[in-house]
């Protein structure tokens, strides 16, 4: 099902016209489809039906309370990387017993909060972190459930900024050191070994890197078993890509079937951390053309969204399809640079897009449900966008647009002298 489609010559989110949303809530505005979110989660989970598994949504992809609450109601767990994300998940009704805590820099305060909440597992990323967690748990009279995030040195074949499984990455424990660090963990009084974790990157569009990494993890699990360390779960991470342009990422069913086959008859729980795969194509960024600016070398369409609203094009040179909300049947098509008002030459949302435009037209920047709002900022003192969730024929404001006064409400000038 495509939750964003043309109906009566107007682009809709489910049964709500996007121009209607722009009129009611203004632009720029993120718009999400509840149906698309639900379908993505259910399709991913269905692939593992009959297998002991837990699907933990990667909160960093989109931390909206409404989205977290929807996934919690669908039975999801959550992959978090900060104390703030822990608080968000709990505020959204997430079950702490379904939370895995990843990240290389967990503070003692974050560890304490997670232990008090009673999370499912800490994905420990270094021997130093393991020692600190043991100390913090001991001071609290608790035992911390852990898996070791193992770096399998597998090339995810994705953008280097989001490739996390190579030996030069800051993430995880080197594969060749894993047995030794597990032995250290087994000797610690306030650590309970529960699992093995592996995450090799994001926006992966081939199946082979996942399977290569999983093979290495399974070898480690078997070696640990021989040393008397029983692994209760394997966290295979996330990273399945989506189609932004012409990519062909693996289908959820093919991914699930391959993973289940490799697992064999091992008696372990499978944990997954999909993020982009669940939310990426469930959202768009709605923006308005403010000015058309032809020059001798390029035509610019200056819109009211910018790199502070959607960082991915400027940060990764990422491609997002851009569609007119109401395509024009007449007029002159031209090739445009779609740019924002931020004072940076890198403030672009799309290069070389052939469109028929007039000032005031609405554009939908597609596949913006992941790492859009979550990476947005207030650069140039720009309020962050509103967020709207569409459910059938109804649209709900799930985050109001920031006011300019909100942006400096916590600041103070120096005292008068």
Burial class (CB in 10 A: 0-12, 13-18, 19+), 394: exposed
Answer yes or no: 413 catalytic. Answer: no
Give me the residues paired with residue 303 across strands: 289
With a CB cutoff of 8 Å and minimum separation 6, the contacts of 377 are: 308, 311, 384
Residue 360 has phi, psi (to 5 degrees) of: 95, -10
Alpha helices in 2-126 (DSSP H): 18-25, 34-46, 65-73, 83-91, 108-117
Give me the residues paired with residue 233 across strands: 195, 269
Task: List the structure tokens of 341.
Answer: 């008002």
Secondary structure of residue 124 in the 3-state scheme: strand
Burial class (CB in 10 A: 0-12, 13-18, 19+), 145: buried
Distance CA(277)–CA(194), nearest Å, equals: 26
Cβ(313)–Cβ(300) below 8 Å: no
| Widest Cα–Cα separation across the chain | 75
b (16+ CB within 10 A) / e for 253-288: eebbebbeeebeeeebbbbbbbbbbbbbbbbbbbbb
With a CB cutoff of 8 Å and minimum separation 6, the contacts of 101 are: 80, 81, 86, 110, 114, 119, 121, 122, 123
Distance CA(171)–CA(237), nearest Å, equals: 13
Closest CA to 365 of 311, 320, 328, 401: 320
Looking from the CA of 119 toward its CB, the CA atoms found within 13 Å total 31
Alpha helices in 126-251 (DSSP H): 127-140, 178-186, 208-226
Cβ(404)–Cβ(329) below 8 Å: no
Residue 227 has phi, psi (to 5 degrees) of: -95, 5
User: Which of the following is catalytic: 56, 198, 343, 413?
Assistant: 343
Closest CA to 126 of 194, 163, 180: 180
* Catalytic sites, residue numbers: 343
């Amino acid at each position: 099902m495509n939750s964003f489609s043309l109906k009566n010559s107007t682009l809709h989110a489910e049964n709500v016209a996007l121009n209607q949303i722009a009129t009611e809530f203004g632009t720029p505005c993120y718009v999400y489809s509840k149906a698309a979110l639900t379908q993505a989660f259910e399709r991913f989970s269905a692939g593992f039906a009959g297998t002991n598994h837990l699907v933990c949504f990667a909160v960093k992809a989109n931390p909206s309370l409404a989205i977290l609450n929807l996934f919690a109601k669908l039975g999801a767990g959550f992959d978090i990387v900060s104390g703030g994300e822990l608080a968000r998940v709990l505020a959204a009704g997430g079950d702490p017993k379904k939370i895995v805590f990843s990240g290389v820099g967990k503070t003692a305060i974050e560890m304490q909060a997670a232990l008090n909440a009673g999370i499912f597992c800490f994905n420990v990323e270094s021997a130093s972190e393991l020692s600190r967690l043991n100390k913090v748990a001991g001071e609290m009279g608790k035992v911390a459930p852990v898996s070791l995030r193992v770096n399998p040195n597998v090339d995810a074949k994705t953008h280097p900024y989001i490739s996390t499984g190579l030996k030069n990455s800051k993430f995880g424990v080197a594969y060749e050191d894993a047995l030794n660090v597990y032995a250290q963990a087994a000797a610690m009084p306030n650590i309970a070994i529960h699992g093995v974790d592996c995450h090799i990157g994001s926006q992966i569009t081939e199946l082979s890197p996942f399977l290569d990494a999983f093979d290495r993890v399974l070898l480690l699990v078997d070696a640990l078993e021989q040393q008397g360390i029983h692994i209760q779960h394997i966290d295979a991470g996330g990273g399945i890509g989506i189609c932004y342009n012409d990519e062909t990422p693996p289908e959820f069913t093919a991914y699930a079937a391959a993973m289940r086959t490799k697992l064999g008859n091992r008696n372990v729980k499978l944990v997954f951390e999909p993020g982009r795969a669940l939310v990426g194509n469930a959202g768009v960024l709605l923006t308005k053309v403010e000015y058309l600016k032809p020059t001798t070398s390029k035509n610019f369409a200056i819109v009211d969204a910018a790199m502070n609203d959607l960082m991915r094009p400027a940060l990764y040179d990422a491609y997002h399809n851009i569609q007119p909300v109401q395509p024009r049947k007449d007029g002159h098509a031209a090739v445009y640079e779609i740019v924002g008002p931020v004072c940076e030459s890198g403030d672009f949302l799309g290069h070389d897009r052939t469109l028929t435009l007039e000032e005031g037209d609405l554009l939908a920047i597609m596949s913006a449900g992941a790492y859009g709002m979550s990476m947005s900022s207030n650069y140039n003192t720009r309020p962050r966008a509103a967020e709207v969730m569409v459910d059938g024929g109804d649209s709900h404001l799930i985050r109001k647009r920031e006011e300019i006064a909100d942006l400096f409400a916590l600041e103070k000038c120096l005292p008068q002298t």
